[in-house]
A and B are shown apart, each in its own frame.
Chain A
Amino acid sequence: MFLVIWKAIKGYAFIEITGFSVERFINLAINKGVYIWNIQHKRNSVIMNVSLPALELLDTCAAKTRCEIKIINEYGLPTLFRRYCKRKILLFGVILFCGIIYLLSSFIWEIEVNGNEKLVTSEILEFLKNEDTGIGSFTFRLKGKDIEASLLNRFKNISWVSTEIKGTKLIINMVETVDKPEEKDTTIPCNIIAAEDGVIYSIVVSAGHPLVKKKDVVLKDDLLVNGELVVKEDEESTLYKYVHAEGKIIAKTMDQFEIYESKAIIKKIYTHEHKKEYRLSVMGHTLPYLRVKPKFEKYDQLIYNKKLEIGKDIILPFELIMIQYNEYSTKTINRSEEEVKKILQYRVKRKIEEDYIKKDKEVIHQDITYMKENQGIKAKVDLVVLKSIGESQNINVEERRNDLIESTDGENNKPAN
Chain B
Amino acid sequence: MDQKRIKKKQEQDTSIKNKLTNLFELPKDVVLNLPLITIVGNKEIQIENYKGIVEYSEEMIKVKTTVGVIKVNGKKLFVKLITSENIQITGFIKSFEYMT
Contacts and interface: CB of A to CB of B under 8 A. Distances in A.
A23 B84 contact: no
Of the listed residues A23, A33, A37, the one surrounded by the most CB atoms of chain B closer than 10 A to its CB is A23
B53 A27 contact: yes
A36 B82 contact: yes
B31 interface: no
Interface in B43-99: 52-58, 77-84
Interface string B22-57: 000000000000000000000000000000111111
B18 to A, nearest CB: 28
Nearest to B59: A41
A22 B56 CA distance: 8
Contact of B53 (A26, A35, A38, A40): A26
A31 interface: yes
Contact of B81 (A23, A37, A41): A37
Interface string A1-39: 000000000000000000000110011001101011111
B78 A23 contact: no
Contacts of B81: 36-38
A45 to B, nearest CB: 12
Of the listed residues B58, B77, B79, B80, the one surrounded by the most CB atoms of chain A closer than 10 A to its CB is B79
Contact of B55 (A23, A40, A46): A23
Contact-residue size bin, chain B (C-beta under 8 Å from the other chain)? 10 to 19
Contacts of A40: 78-79
Contacts of B54: 23
Contacts of B79: 36-40, 48
A46 B82 CA distance: 14
A5 B55 CA distance: 32
A37 B82 contact: yes
B84 A33 contact: yes
A23 B82 CA distance: 12
A38 B80 contact: yes
A38 B78 contact: yes
B78 A30 contact: no
A41 B58 contact: yes
Contact of A26 (B56, B58, B80): B56
A39 B55 contact: no
Contacts of B56: 22-23, 26, 39, 41, 46
B84 A26 contact: no
Interface string A219-258: 0000000000000000000000000000000000000000
B57 A41 contact: yes
Given A23-B54, A23-B56, A30 B80 contact: no
Contacts of A36: 79, 81-83
Contact of B83 (A23, A30, A38, A39): A30
A37 B58 contact: no
Given A33-B84, A35-B83, A41-B57, A27 B78 contact: no
Nearest to A30: B84
A328 to B, nearest CB: 67
A43 to B, nearest CB: 9
Contacts of B55: 23
Nearest to B53: A23
A58 to B, nearest CB: 14
A22 B55 CA distance: 9
A48 B80 CA distance: 9
A30 B57 contact: no
B19 to A, nearest CB: 32
B57 A26 contact: no
A26 B82 contact: yes
A33 to B, nearest CB: 7
Nearest to B55: A23
Contacts of A22: 56
Given A33-B84, A36-B79, 20 more contacts: A23-B52, A23-B53, A26-B53, A26-B56, A30-B52, A30-B83, A36-B82, A36-B83, A37-B80, A38-B78, A38-B79, A38-B81, A39-B56, A40-B78, A40-B79, A41-B56, A41-B58, A41-B77, A41-B78, A48-B79
Interface of A: 22-23, 26-27, 30-31, 33, 35-41, 46, 48
26 contacts: A22-B56, A23-B53, A23-B54, A23-B55, A23-B56, A26-B53, A27-B52, A30-B52, A30-B82, A30-B84, A33-B84, A36-B83, A37-B81, A37-B82, A38-B79, A38-B80, A38-B81, A39-B79, A39-B82, A40-B78, A40-B79, A41-B56, A41-B77, A41-B78, A46-B56, A48-B79
User: 5 nearest interchain CB pairs?
Assistant: A39-B79, A27-B52, A41-B58, A23-B53, A37-B81
